[in-house]
Amino acid sequence: MDQYFSKTLEKGLTLLNLFDQDQTRLSIPEMSKSTDMNKASIYR
């Protein structure tokens, strides 16, 4: 794994990619279901 690769940044970008012009709001449970990330990680 690249030593400069940030898992935190990757998770944040994954969450941002859930949104678009039509999908402007998502709840934490919806984001969790769409990404398989746990709710606590999404909240942070």
Whether the predicted pLDDT of 4 surpasses 80: no
pLDDT in tens, 10-42: 999 999 999 999 999 999 999 999 999 999 999
Whether the predicted pLDDT of 3 surpasses 90: no
Please give the pLDDT value at position 1. Answer: 56
What confidence category does residue 5 fall into, taking pLDDT thresholds of 50, 70 and 90? confident
Instruction: Count Cβ atoms below 10 Å from residue 32 Cβ, excluding itself.
Output: 17
Measured at the alpha carbon of residue 16, what is the angle toward residues 4 and 6, in degrees to the nearest 5? 10
Quick check: 13 and 29 in contact, CB under 8 A? Answer: no
Please tell me the pTM assigned to this model.
Answer: 0.77
Whether the predicted pLDDT of 44 surpasses 90: no
Residues contacting 38, CB < 8 A, separation 6+: 32
